[in-house]
Structures are given as structure tokens and as C-alpha cells.
Amino acid sequence: MIKPDNLLVLQDELVTLLKSKLAALSPAVHVLTPDDLQGEDTGPVKVQPVPAVNVVYMGHRFSDQAGRQRTDGKAALVAQLFALEVVTRNVQTLKTGAAARLGGGQLAMHVIDAVMGARLPSAASPLALVAGPGHAYKGGMQYLPLLAQVDLLISR
């Protein structure tokens, strides 16, 4: 475990892990952060590349539970939550979305396999999948969010 100097270090490490684990898939999977999807200051939002996994930092939680913070206040485990949004597009069954759901479900299984129990270099715990929101489908685009939680140790 590396002592972090950036609260968001685990997002970069998670992106690196997913790019490595999903590299052999065809078609190529885009692993993106919200910065990758932003348009220019004067332009529109970029078009969502597909297939993709959007890695989004959803926040963190400091705990006051014994064992998660030192009694002198100089160290704490911070639980961080990340959305791993699987995005696919398939218009073969535009009305029902069945083809997009199939592609999204298959890619989601690859993502689950990549992160389940994986250890990031700066993390104090393995990645754990947690309950998340349901999927969304619109106009051939399937959005299937997976949530992963991981601890970051912060100390002085």
C-alpha cells in the first residue's frame, strides 16, 4: 500500500486496472472518467463512445467506528464509492432494447470479474461490489451502473 497524496488516487488506479483487464475485448472498450466526456468550455458535451465503462467518483465517508480511525485522530480509513457505468449501444432491437441489454450484461460481467476482490496499489482494502441503482435504456443506449467500494488510509 502506497501512502496517498491525492484523495482521488484510487479513481486513476481503478481506470488503469480496468484498461488492463478489458484490453483484450473486441470491440475495444473505452474506460473513461467524467473529464473524458466533457466538451470544450464553449462547445457541447462529447458523444458517449461505446462500448465503454465510465468510472465516476461518487464520494467518500469517514467513519467514527472503532478500528476505522485512530484514537489520536492521526489516521482514518475513508470508504470511497465509485460508479462503474457500463455503456453499450445496439439498435437491432430498438423498441425493446434486448440487444443492447445483452451486450451491456456481457460487458458488465467482464467488469465484475476485473474488480471483484482486486487490490489497487494505494488502497487499504480490496474492491467490493455494493448495491447500486438499476439500469437505464433509451434510444439504443444501455446504461448499467455497477458500484464498487474501497478504503483509502489517510494518515499524518
Instruction: Please report the pLDDT score of residue 92 as a whole number.
Output: 79
pLDDT band at 66 (very low <50, low <70, confident <90, very high): low
User: Mean of the pLDDT values across residues 15-22?
Assistant: 98
In contact, 85 and 123? CB cutoff 8 Å:
no
Domains and CATH numbers, the chain: 9-34+47-155 (3.30.2000.10)
DSSP-derived secondary structure for 59-93: EEEE--SBTTB-TTSSEEEEEEEEEEEEEEE--TT
Instruction: Please report the pLDDT score of residue 40 as a whole number.
Output: 55
13-27, 64-78, 106-120, 136-150: least confident range: 64-78
**Collapsing DSSP states into helix, strand and coil, what is residue 98?**
helix
Instruction: Please report the pLDDT score of residue 54 as a whole number.
Output: 97
In contact, 115 and 127? CB cutoff 8 Å:
yes
